[in-house]
Structure 1
Amino acid sequence: MRLIIPIVFCLIAAPAGADDPAPLALSRMNAAVEDGQVPGLSVTIRRADGTRIDLHAGLADPREGIPVGSDTRFLSGSTGKTITALVAVQLAEAGTLDLDAPVSTWLSDRDWWDGLANADALTLRMLLNHSAGVPDYLEDLDFFLAGLIRGNRGYSPDELAGFVAGDAAEGEPGAHFSYSDTDYILVGLIIETATGETFYDLARRLVIEPLGMTGTEPLQGRTFENLAAGHTHGLFGRQATARRGTLKSNLDHEWTGGGWVTTPGDLVTLYRALGDGGFFAAEGAIMRSDINAFDEAGTRGYGLGIYVRFHDDGAYRIAHGGDFGGYRSSVIHDSRSGLTLAVQGNDKAFEAPDFAFELLGALTAD
């Protein structure tokens, strides 16, 4: 029998000091592991001055006794929607796409088009900010039943859209917020139709390579180097979704909804590139959230592939979470403090967004 002991690694790219966030973050990470919330955690914190701290706790693979390390990777889940939105917005800035053009411009010849909720009223912007009212295929009974018999054959984007064809709309297009992975599958189809290139090739060229996100690769196939073992929960307790770097199921269908294998360090790099003076000129476009704010003042909303909260002094926070395949992720950039942080864990039950926001709050408390 192999003795399994959580192991903590702390790689610090900045000198320790009174404002060193590592001890507090490590304490919270260790507590989450010891409480059984998650087998392993990886956190990256980037300070306003550019220094970066990488922290690790627990086990990437409890069965093999492998600790989480600097090269451990996780499925991104919906944090990858930010990449999809960045590709779409850059294509719009180049004149290849029009965010406010009817979706019918690109998709009206699809077999499922006539049955798609709100089809004739949809624009690309509505898909990107989840105000389209298109049902989520992940919540569709037919998709669930198909998964019971389909094995590892995977699904094409058109098959995913077909699952919700004929389903009732979730709301009036452009006037509400209704989160749906189908929205982003449709965005992917639009991108590939308009450009004649694959989405993943475009994302590499426009986002991944310019930012040097070397730990990030498309979720294609089942085997990935340094992949943590994800976990879900069922009748027999915690069950692994991967072993020795190989996923037990084909999860390619996440695609433009967040189909990436990545690290917290790369998520921090991505979100810092969207912050003040960041890499992308697209920053202003994706942060626009006036269409479907969550409150009457319009200070909280969903922009294009990103959650946004504005403060009275002009400061803001941008964030996104991810939940897919037994992995949880969350990434935040806080303009007031200049901190960017990302959290990834290998258990579906772990509330990564709550952990991330609570950690940010503790690190920025006066």
Structure 2
Amino acid sequence: MTENILPPRRRAALALLLTTALTGAVAAGASAASASATQIAAGHTEAEVTRTAQLTKLARQAVDAGAPGVIVRVNDGNGPAIEIVRQAPWTRTEHTLASDDQFRMGSSTKTVVATVVLQLVAEHRLKLTDPVETWLPGLIPNGDAITLRMLLNHTSGLFNYINDPDVLKAFTGQDTRQWTPEELIAAAVGHDPMFAPGKQYSYSNTNYIALGLIAEKVTGHSLGDLIQERIARPLNLKNTYMATGTRRPDNRKLAHGYEPDAAHIAPLLPPGTPAGTKFAGPGRAGHVDTTWINLSTEWAAGGMVSTAEEWGRFDTALMSGKLLPPAQLKQMRTTVAEEPGNPNRYGLGLEKVVTPCGAVWGHVGQVPGYSSQNFTDGTGRRTVSIFTTTIFGLADPKVGAADQALVNGAVCAMLDKPIPKTAHPTN
């Protein structure tokens, strides 16, 4: 979900690591040997067992470097999935990490919201050329020049509300104020747009808050209910839902997320971050537990909760055409260039990502304490999820490099290709 003020969004961080030059100490206690679980189901080939051992080593290295915990699930389409879990010992006080834990999905939520919007397009209830002003009159300045397509592919030029200082305080848990979607948009449009509508690409969470409101306006149903009716229930996703102030995750099933505490996060913050930026939560071994942080700034931009297995089922259903007709799936996969020098391209809530082992489709998600990377091949037959229980912890070069090596390895395993020997990410 994050962008700009927070560490650069790891958009499919397979080809990109944090590009900002950041320095800082590894959070105390996170480098200890991890508690772990690895599941190697019957039916795996010798090559798959070897890949599992390699991925297990990479997961252990990520936790030893300072990641509080990782969950990896790889389905190469040829048999039982590989599931690997590692966590630092100090995190076991709150929760023992498991492969089927619920996880905050962050900006991967955008793929779900885009799917709902495109379903409404297929039903002729919306058009991608509809101006925002048609559905949200008076809410967004120059809304008659911004189309739904521009919202979906981040070419609207709207300021990213997360970078508003007041919203950032709520996002980091320093302020418990409950923001409404309309208030988030008001915070965004209180800043000048970044460029004229449709002229270039710039990732902005504001786009998806507007899309959530539009989906509600055209249907008369809440966004959470739309997701349940149109996606979760048809796919039997019992642990997949929109977390809000009225529907909070089950503490027994939710993985706990962590961020470096005030003393450890300061060196990791990018230049220009407001003074005093830190995360609120109970202290844990140089970290704070951000599991129950303010949820109100996320919603349609990053409020989904799911599991690795269920998100893989969603990706498979989406890419195989079970959720969208061919015309709308083609539109979703019609991409625009991202920043200069970035080989990845953004479609309608879906990103095409260049990795060391080939191009994949999916999205990256980040909310406080949770970083998820979810990818699939072009058919949906193969899927992979890599969950890490921190965002800012990955800004430490050592931790980030180890986590990147794990992501690279997991995606290559998904594609049935050799796991790269190098631990260094490509830029």
Instruction: Report TM bin, short chain.
Output: 0.7 to 0.9
Q: Residue 337 and residue 169 in structure 1: after superposition, are their counterparts in 2 closer, same or farther (change >3 A)?
A: closer
> Do residues 233 (structure 1) and 260 (structure 2) align?
yes
Aligned mates of 1:337, 1:214 — CA distance in 2: 20
> Do residues 305 (structure 1) and 334 (structure 2) align?
no
Which segment drifts farther, 196-205 or 18-27?
Answer: 18-27
User: Identity of aligned pairs, percent?
Assistant: 28
Describe the SS at the equivalent of 1:342.
strand
> Do residues 224 (structure 1) and 250 (structure 2) align?
yes
Q: Residue 280 and residue 336 in structure 1: after superposition, are their counterparts in 2 closer, same or farther (change >3 A)?
A: closer
Describe the SS at the equivalent of 1:70.
coil
Describe the SS at the equivalent of 1:251.
coil
1:258 is matched with 302
1:361 is matched with 412
More strand, by proportion:
1
Equivalent of 1:49 in 78, 94, 100: 78
Aligned mates of 2:360, 2:85 — CA distance in 1: 24
The AA in structure 1 aligned to 2:312 is V
Q: Deviations over 1:109-146 (max 9, x none)?
A: 43xx3xx3x42210011001001000000011242357
Aligned mates of 1:152, 1:80 — CA distance in 2: 22
> Do residues 9 (structure 1) and 37 (structure 2) align?
yes
Please provide the CA RMSD for this pair.
3.0
Which segment drifts farther, 139-148 or 151-160?
Answer: 139-148
1:286 is matched with 332
How much has 1:31 moved relative to structure 2? 0.9
Q: More relative contact order in 1 or in 2 (CA 8 Å, sep 6+)? A: 2
Aligned mates of 1:300, 1:76 — CA distance in 2: 20
Q: In the alignment, is the contact (CA less than 8 A) between 1:251 and 1:325 conserved in 2?
A: no
What pairs up with 1:1-366 in 2 under 5 angstroms? Answer: 6-20=34-48, 21-36=51-66, 38-49=67-78, 51-59=80-88, 62=91, 64=93, 66-110=95-139, 113=140, 116=141, 118-144=142-168, 151-221=175-245, 222-225=248-251, 226-237=253-264, 238-242=286-290, 247-276=291-320, 280-281=324-325, 282-289=328-335, 292-294=336-338, 300-309=344-353, 316-335=359-378, 338-348=381-391, 349-350=393-394, 351=400, 355-361=406-412, 364-365=417-418
Aligned mates of 1:191, 1:203 — CA distance in 2: 10
Q: Deviations over 1:25-49 (max 9, x none)?
A: 111111101111x111111111223
Aligned mates of 1:103, 1:320 — CA distance in 2: 24
Q: In the alignment, is the contact (CA less than 8 A) between 2:116 and 2:230 conserved in 1?
A: yes
The AA in structure 2 aligned to 1:286 is M
Q: TM-score, normalised by structure 1?
A: 0.85
Q: Residue 329 and residue 91 in structure 1: after superposition, are their counterparts in 2 closer, same or farther (change >3 A)?
A: same
Which segment drifts farther, 67-76 or 194-203?
Answer: 67-76
Aligned mates of 1:166, 1:152 — CA distance in 2: 21
How much has 1:174 moved relative to structure 2? 1.8
Describe the SS at the equivalent of 1:83.
helix
Which segment drifts farther, 331-340 or 131-140?
Answer: 331-340
How much has 1:337 moved relative to structure 2? 10
The AA in structure 1 aligned to 2:418 is A
Q: In the alignment, is the contact (CA less than 8 A) between 1:321 and 1:353 conserved in 2?
A: no
The AA in structure 1 aligned to 2:351 is Y
The AA in structure 1 aligned to 2:296 is D
Q: Residue 14 and residue 307 in structure 1: after superposition, are their counterparts in 2 closer, same or farther (change >3 A)?
A: farther
How much has 1:149 moved relative to structure 2? 9.8
Aligned residues: 348
Q: Deviations over 1:162-197 (max 9, x none)?
A: 112232211232231100000000001111111111
How much has 1:11 moved relative to structure 2? 2.4
Aligned mates of 2:407, 2:130 — CA distance in 1: 36
Q: TM-score, normalised by structure 2?
A: 0.73
Q: In the alignment, is the contact (CA less than 8 A) between 1:171 and 1:178 conserved in 2?
A: no
Any unmatched runs of 5+ in structure 2? 1-31, 265-285, 395-399, 420-427
Describe the SS at the equivalent of 2:374.
strand
Aligned mates of 2:234, 2:379 — CA distance in 1: 26
Aligned mates of 1:257, 1:52 — CA distance in 2: 29
Q: In the alignment, is the contact (CA less than 8 A) between 1:80 and 1:260 conserved in 2?
A: yes
